[in-house]
Amino acid sequence: MTTTDGSATQPAAVIDLRVLPWRPRRRYKGPDIDFALFGVTELLGGVVALVVAVLGLVAVLLVVVAVALVVLELWIVALVALTLLLARFVGLLPWVVDTGRGGYERYRWLPHATRRVRELNGGGPARVRWRWV
């Protein structure tokens, strides 16, 4: 290499980073090497590529189906929760008041249930207890 004034310089040092840790060998046609278009090695490579491609497509298909099921399941759960909440506030599902004396009372309207809880507790805010069953 030369600079703009014509003097010789050393080439800059670089790091040679190779993806594959070995150097590819040059292919040359020798008397004992057959470079047929559909030789055994080329056919084996095609079969391996086909198998890998099919397995990759199956894996992608499984991931897409799994994501679709998760999204669909979330929508179904949200729809069921919204339906139950709407049914509760419309009065189709009753509000249950635990009297604290071993009995339960059912009310179709939330303000009535709240009023009854306040009466039983002697005033103050109505407490709520969450239960799954």
Torsion of CA 69, 73, 79, 83, to 10 degrees: 140
| Closest C-alpha among 130, 100, 94 to residue 112 | 94
What is the pLDDT, as a whole number, of residue 31?
A: 61
In degrees and rounded to multiples of 5, residue 19 shows phi and psi of -65, -45
- CB-side exposure of 126: number of CA atoms within 13 Å? 17
Least confident of 20-24, 40-44, 69-73, 101-105: 20-24
What is the pLDDT, as a whole number, of residue 73?
A: 93
b/e per residue, 74-85, with b = 16+ CB within 10 A? eeeeeeeeeeee
Q: What is the distance between the alpha carbons of residues 20 and 17, in angstroms, rounded to a whole number?
A: 9
What is the pLDDT, as a whole number, of residue 32?
A: 62
Whole-prediction pTM: 0.44
| Mean pLDDT, residues 98-124 | 86
**What is the per-residue pLDDT across 40-68, written as a single tens digit (0 to 9) for each?**
666 777 888 899 999 999 999 999 999 99
Q: What is the distance between the alpha carbons of residues 64 and 57, in angstroms, rounded to a whole number?
A: 10
